[in-house]
Structure formats: structure tokens, C-alpha cells
Amino acid sequence: FISLPYPRNEAQMALGNHTMVTHFILLGIPNTDGLQTILFFTFLAFYLCTLLGNLLILSAVLGDPRLHTPMYFFLCNLAVVDLGFSSVSIPKLLANLWAKNRIISMGGCMSQVFFYHFLASTECLLYTVMAYDRYVAICHPLRYLLIMNRRVCVLLAAGAWITSSFHATILASLTFTLPYCGSNVIDYFFCDIFPVAKLACGDTHIIETVTFTNTGLVPMTCFSLILASYIRIVYSVVKMNSAEGRRKAASTCASHLVVVTLFFGPCAVIYTQPQLSKVMVTAVELFGYIVTPLLNPVIYTLRNKEVKDALRKL
């Protein structure tokens, strides 16, 4: 959930006699003139496949009692997040590409900011919870169901959703309590905090500071906890005497490691390569918004015999 800073035009600080903004105009993806039709059908195909894949995961897990375990409970939560995350900006992006309707209301813009940060934060926290689940399964197999009982699973999942809602509410509230009275053109393909706050007529120091802190603290904390879980897992796997046990442990963690890499990868590229052009940054972010939610169900399905068996029964 990447929020990138944009240079502010200091002239926008003056309120003057400007009319208060009631809607925004999204400029969309840069340097795509003449490619709108191709991009529309490409993004539409990805979006429909994302909806189908995650709905199939939900149906398979809910419909097969054998999959009513902690790991699949968290996978269902992840599928719900991916359904919502891909729907935050893609439908509006498709409308912009097809009908060239680039207008978005103030309420619609606020919704995009809130749900983007809400769902991205929830996904980050769920990956952390799933890493802990894998740690318990491998390092404490005999006590796994005792530790990861239904109450603990519900509390962990609810904690991820509730914490993220507070995180997103703070960011969205600070963004849209600012006055908007000048330009209403957002140089981006959806509403995010910095592109929107750039247009504010008031002082944006507080929202910029809070956003930098929150959007840095949450993923770094999650990444550190995931890393700690896998260090313990690797230590336990190395101590195993059985080659079959090591193979099963590696297979259990492989899917989670791949999706975590896909989630944190775009963040790492953007924050460690500040010299990237705006076009490259947009391409990396589109990968995170469009491709990652599609790949999650594919990765978990291709490497999981139980899920594939459940899908065949649908």
C-alpha cells in the first residue's frame, strides 16, 4: 500500500476566491494514448479472473469440511481482501479507459483512499498472521490445534481487520478535512493520499507526516514479524532428521513465501529505487493492484492438492 509524495505547488496554499472542489478529475495512466482499448480489455480480463479465482477459493474452502482449518480460514480472509482490493480502483480505471469518464466525486475519492489503505493494511497483517500460523504448524505440530484454536484464529483475523480500519480512518479523515479550493485534477489513475493532498489549499504537513509514519510503520513491522517467524521455521527445519519432514515443511511455506514476495516486492522496488520514472512507478504499482490479487489464488491452488480436490467437487 504505497503512498508516494508528489511535489506541492505552493501557490495552491492561497485560498483566494476559488470555488470549493466538489469532484476530482483523474488523469489516469501516463503515456497510454492510443492504447486505451488494449488496456481496457487486458485489465478487464485480469479483474474478472481475479473475481473468479478468489470466489472459487472461498467456495472450495467453505464447501469442504476438510478445509475448515486455521490455514484455510486465513486464506478465506485473504481471498475476501483480494476481492475488495482489486475492486477499489480497477472498475473506475476501466470506466476511464472505455468511456473517458475521468470525473470522480469527493465521496468516491474518499472511499478509494479509505478502502485502499484499509484493505492493503489488512492484507499485510494477514500475511503476518499466516506466517505465525506456519510457524506454529512446523515448530509446534503436536500443539498446533491447541494453540491455533477457533477463538485464537477469530481474534487474530478480527484484529487485522479492526486495526486496519483505524489505520485507514485516520488517514482518510486527515486527508479530507483539508480544504480543496483550487485545481481538481489528480495526476494519477486513482485517489491516493499524496496525489489528493497535493491539491489542498491548507497546510498538509500533518497529513504528510502521519502518512509517512503509518505507511512505513505497518509494512516494516509486518515484514519484521514475518522474517522472525521464518527464521524460527528455518532453524526448526534444519534440526529435522527426516528428509520427508523437511520437504513437507518447505512445501507448506512455499506458497506463503511467494505471495509475501509479490506483496512486498513492489514496495521494495519503489522505495529503494527513487530514480524510477513516473511511468515505471505506475507500472510497478499496477502490478500490485491488478496482478497480485489474481496470482494469490493461483499460487495457493497450484501447489495445494486439498484445494484442487475441493475445486473438482464444486
Nearest to 88 by CA among 103, 72, 109, 67: 109
Measured CA distances, 236 to 4, 140, 228, 257 (Å): 39, 10, 13, 17
Neighbour-count burial of 28, counting CB atoms closer than 10 A to its CB (0-12 exposed, 13-18 middle, 19+ buried): buried
Give the pLDDT mean for 235-252.
Answer: 80
What mean pLDDT is reported for the chain? 85
* Residues with Cβ within 8 Å of residue 24, at least 6 apart in sequence: 103, 104, 105, 106, 109, 184, 185, 186, 191, 196, 199
* Model confidence pLDDT, tens digit, residues 272-283: 666 666 777 778
Which carries the bigger pLDDT value, residue 14 or residue 223?
A: 223
Measured CA distances, 60 to 293, 307, 308, 313 (Å): 17, 7, 9, 8
Alpha-carbon gap, residue 5 to 24, rounded angstroms = 18
* Model confidence pLDDT, tens digit, residues 200-226: 888 888 888 888 887 778 888 999 999
- 34's torsion region: left (phi>0), alpha (psi -120 to 50) or beta? left
pLDDT at site 306: 81
Are residues 290 and 94 in contact, defined by beta-carbon separation less than 8 angstroms? no
* Residues with Cβ within 8 Å of residue 257, at least 6 apart in sequence: 230
pLDDT category at 239 given cuts 50, 70, 90 is confident
Which carries the bigger pLDDT value, residue 252 or residue 297?
A: 297
Topology of domain 10-312, CATH: Rhopdopsin 7-helix transmembrane proteins (1.20.1070)
Alpha-carbon gap, residue 40 to 107, rounded angstroms = 25
The residue ranges of every structural domain in the chain are 10-312
Give the pLDDT mean for 160-187.
Answer: 90
Query: Is the pTM here over 0.75, yes or no?
Result: yes
pLDDT at 3 over 70: no
Cell of 107: 465521496
* Model confidence pLDDT, tens digit, residues 53-93: 999 999 999 988 888 999 999 999 999 999 999 999 899 88
